[in-house]
């Protein structure tokens, strides 16, 4: 990770040592640490997923010695790693690196708290993985439903609970930091309505982190008490197993938006740049993020339609779930309309962003099926649900992440990757993804239950097909890794603004100087004024060392 990352500050060229990385409080280094760590766990979570797919490829056998006990550990860790150790931290990384630059700040509001958040991520991850060494992995699913999580023998649930607590604190501290940074550190002229949409999305995400995670904290602490202190919050004759689910999903549904809103923000950044046109309906997109965040706190029981919660609550929760679908639909229409009468350049970030729209669209539409209580009763806890949330979280969040990586990597490292490899990565992932997850809709409807270590022979063909798809996806990630190796070793210099983007981070050198802006830039217009022959929007940004680049007839050349 150290490879040639340089601080191009006024004191000259200074190559960072490993000490600098460990003790850094600079938002850009912390951002890169976050992204690198998260990507490592993406690979871990991916291997766990492939092991699951191997087990499911054939019925009636324990391939590779994966018994049903081990399978339950795989599903638990896969979900946990992907959510808490890949998607959440990688977005924290993006927010760290990009948001202060975008709003014209020198750093985060609390740089040392920021470093603490990162190191808590490492500690939490180590705790979460400690079962591998201590013997005993969690096996109650990433939802840790009581009372099975309480009764499950061994230390698995304990390592999970402790790990998730620490990861939760990391996220809460991060959230507080993001909120204060966005509220207090904006440069002159950067009004709320001139903030790039990624900043809007980050702000809402941060608010959700701070408001939602405490519910999880409480829920899993009580599980811990039930396990070791003999309390009966969720277990025993007086315990209320549904209380756990209510607490968990009060966190769990906003969590879904924590995982997807930053991707919305990333795509909203990329589309205007590569369509050379302002985003369609800036305010609609910004406010829909905010309303998704708010309404998202009132839909949690849609995860519990079959749980035995009071029947009369189901209709209100169905309605609120439908309502939260509206701002989501609005976004999709706005993104599509952004392309209208633009001039589209199909560089890797754009291709990934368009893939995001298509797949997230499917994930959103399958959500409508699930909102309808009578149909949800049938498909709850089946592969239909698995398909739905992978379209949202992989097709949505992860495609958004790769779009963002390909967009900002040149800014982070000053080097350019291979566009062709990035597109090969896209197509293989896209095809493998659909092979794996599209058939799951149908499998679920036909009766394939979720979290089964073995399915009957009636599902064996479809399972084999999905496993093949998963390996296609796995292969695709090797292309990405190779592309990164190539970029760090031989990648050409990217230049300060290879995409000719108008947001602030691109007005600086690549990588940006340690202190970002020597004198705070002054903002005079919105972030997406494309389609004009000229029109400087940043006064004084040049002071930060980045060359001013308003030479628009160059367009996107690389």
Mark 218-257 with x for binding to another protein (rule: CB under 8 A) and - for no binding.
-----------------xxx-x-xx---------------
DSSP-based three-state secondary structure for 330:
helix
What is the C-alpha separation between 225 and 337, in angstroms, rounded?
Answer: 52
On the CB side of 354, CA atoms within 13 Å amount to: 15
Q: Which does 372 bind (CB under 5 to 8 A by kind): Cu ion, another protein, none?
A: another protein
Mark 11-30 with x for binding to another protein (rule: CB under 8 A) and - for no binding.
--------------------
Residues forming the active site: 78, 107, 142, 170-171, 253, 255, 257, 268, 302-303, 328, 331, 450
Site for another protein, residues 531 to 550, rule: CB under 8 A: 531-533
- Residue 452 binds to another protein (criterion: CB under 8 A): yes
Contact criterion met (CB below 8 Å) for 170 and 121 = yes
Counting every residue written for the chain, the total comes to 558
Q: Which does 461 bind (CB under 5 to 8 A by kind): another protein, Cu ion, none?
A: none
Site for another protein, residues 510 to 529, rule: CB under 8 A: 529
Contact criterion met (CB below 8 Å) for 163 and 125 = yes
- For another protein, the closer of residues 228 and 489 by Cβ is 228
Site for another protein, residues 267 to 306, rule: CB under 8 A: 275-284, 306
Count of residues of this chain found to bind Cu ion when the rule CB under 5 A is applied: 1
What is the C-alpha separation between 86 and 49, in angstroms, rounded?
Answer: 14
Q: How far is the CB of 67 from another protein (least distance, A)?
A: 8
Host H or E run for residue 13: strand 12-15
- Residue 388 binds to Cu ion (criterion: CB under 5 A): no
Q: Which of 433, 269, 422, 278 is nearest to 352 (CA)?
A: 422
- From the CA atom positions of the chain, what is the Rg in Å? 23
Contact criterion met (CB below 8 Å) for 108 and 96 = yes
Site for another protein, residues 84 to 143, rule: CB under 8 A: 139-141
Quote the distance between the C-alpha of residue 221 and its chain's center: 25
Q: How far is the CB of 330 from another protein (least distance, A)?
A: 6
Among 166, 354, 422, 466, binds another protein (CB under 8 A): 354
Q: Which of 336, 499, 472, 354 is nearest to 416 (CA)?
A: 499
Among 20, 62, 419, 454, binds another protein (CB under 8 A): 454
Quote the distance between the C-alpha of residue 23 and its chain's center: 26
Q: Which does 341 bind (CB under 5 to 8 A by kind): another protein, Cu ion, none?
A: another protein
- Residue 28 binds to Cu ion (criterion: CB under 5 A): no
CB within 8 Å of 193: residues ≥ 6 apart = 282, 283, 286, 526
Host H or E run for residue 9: strand 6-9
Instruction: Name the DSSP letter for residue 280.
Output: T
Among 132, 313, 333, 427, binds another protein (CB under 8 A): 333
Q: How far is the CB of 253 from Cu ion (least distance, A)?
A: 4
Q: Which does 488 bind (CB under 5 to 8 A by kind): another protein, Cu ion, none?
A: none
Site for another protein, residues 74 to 93, rule: CB under 8 A: none
Among 243, 329, 421, 522, binds another protein (CB under 8 A): 329
Burial (CB count within 10 angstroms: exposed 0-12, middle 13-18, buried 19+), residue 318: buried
Among 28, 253, 347, 455, binds Cu ion (CB under 5 A): 253
Instruction: Read off φ and ψ for residue 12, nearest 5 degrees.
Output: 100, -175
Site for another protein, residues 144 to 203, rule: CB under 8 A: 145, 147-148, 151-152
Q: Which does 530 bind (CB under 5 to 8 A by kind): another protein, Cu ion, none?
A: another protein
- For Cu ion, the closer of residues 253 and 411 by Cβ is 253
- Residue 209 binds to another protein (criterion: CB under 8 A): no
Among 13, 374, 457, 490, binds another protein (CB under 8 A): 374
- For another protein, the closer of residues 382 and 436 by Cβ is 382
CA-to-CA dists, residue 460 to 266, 454, 463, angstroms: 38, 10, 5
HEC string for 65-103 = HCCHHHHHHHHHHHHHHHHHHHHHHHHHHHHHHHHHHHC
Among 315, 475, 485, 493, binds another protein (CB under 8 A): 315
Sites of contact with Cu ion (CB under 5 A):
253
């Amino acid at each position: 990770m150290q490879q040639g990352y340089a601080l191009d500050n006024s004191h000259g060229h200074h190559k960072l040592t490993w000490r600098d990385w460990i003790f850094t409080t600079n938002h850009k280094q912390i951002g890169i640490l976050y992204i690198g760590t998260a990507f490592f766990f993406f690979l871990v979570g991916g291997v766990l997923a492939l092991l699951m797919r191997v087990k499911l490829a054939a019925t009636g056998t324990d391939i590779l010695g994966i018994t049903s006990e081990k399978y339950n550990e795989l599903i638990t860790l896969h979900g946990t790693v992907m959510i808490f150790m890949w998607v959440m931290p990688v977005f924290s990384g993006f927010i760290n690196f990009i948001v202060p630059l975008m709003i014209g700040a020198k750093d985060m509001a609390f740089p040392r708290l920021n470093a603490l958040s990162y190191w808590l991520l490492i500690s939490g991850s180590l705790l979460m993985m400690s079962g591998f060494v201590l013997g005993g992995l969690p096996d109650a699913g990433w939802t840790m439903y009581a009372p099975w999580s309480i009764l499950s023998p061994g230390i698995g649930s304990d390592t999970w609970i402790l790990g998730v607590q620490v990861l939760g604190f990391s996220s809460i501290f991060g959230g507080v930091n993001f909120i204060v940074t966005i509220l207090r550190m904006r440069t002159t002229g950067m009004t709320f309505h001139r903030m790039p949409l990624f900043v809007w999305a980050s702000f809402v995400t941060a608010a959700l982190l701070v408001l939602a995670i405490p519910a999880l904290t409480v829920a899993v602490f009580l599980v811990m008490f039930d396990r070791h202190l003999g309390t009966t919050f969720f277990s025993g004759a007086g315990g209320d197993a549904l209380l756990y689910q209510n607490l968990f999903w009060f966190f769990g549904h906003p969590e879904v938006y924590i995982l997807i809103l930053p991707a919305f923000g990333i795509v909203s950044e990329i589309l205007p740049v590569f369509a050379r046109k302002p985003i369609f309906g800036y305010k609609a997109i910004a406010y829909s993020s905010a309303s998704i965040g708010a309404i998202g706190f009132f839909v949690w029981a849609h995860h519990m339609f079959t749980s035995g919660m009071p029947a009369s609550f189901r209709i209100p929760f169905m309605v609120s779930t439908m309502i939260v679908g509206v701002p989501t639909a609005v976004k999709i229409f706005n993104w599509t309309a952004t392309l209208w009468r633009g001039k589209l350049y199909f560089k890797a970030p754009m291709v990934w962003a368009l893939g995001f729209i298509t797949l997230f669209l499917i994930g959103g539409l399958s959500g409508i099926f699930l909102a309808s209580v009578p149909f949800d009763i049938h498909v709850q806890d089946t592969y239909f649900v698995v398909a739905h949330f992978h379209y949202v979280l992989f097709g949505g969040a992860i495609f958004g992440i790769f779009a963002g990586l390909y967009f900002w990597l040149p800014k982070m490292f000053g080097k350019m990757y291979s566009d062709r490899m990035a597109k090969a990565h896209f197509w293989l992932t896209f095809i493998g993804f659909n092979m794996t997850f599209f058939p799951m809709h149908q499998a679920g409807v036909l009766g394939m239950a979720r979290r089964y270590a073995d399915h009957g022979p009636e599902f064996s063909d479809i399972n084999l097909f999905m496993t093949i798809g998963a390996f296609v996806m796995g292969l695709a990630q090797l292309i990405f890794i190779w592309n990164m190796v190539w970029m760090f070793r031989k990648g050409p210099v990217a230049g300060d603004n290879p995409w000719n983007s108008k947001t602030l981070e691109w007005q600086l050198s690549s990588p940006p100087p340690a202190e970002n802006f020597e004198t705070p830039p002054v903002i005079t217009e919105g972030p997406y004024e494309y389609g004009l022959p000229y029109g400087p929007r940043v006064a004084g940004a040049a002071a930060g060392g980045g060359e001013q680049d308003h030479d628009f007839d160059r367009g996107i050349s690389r």
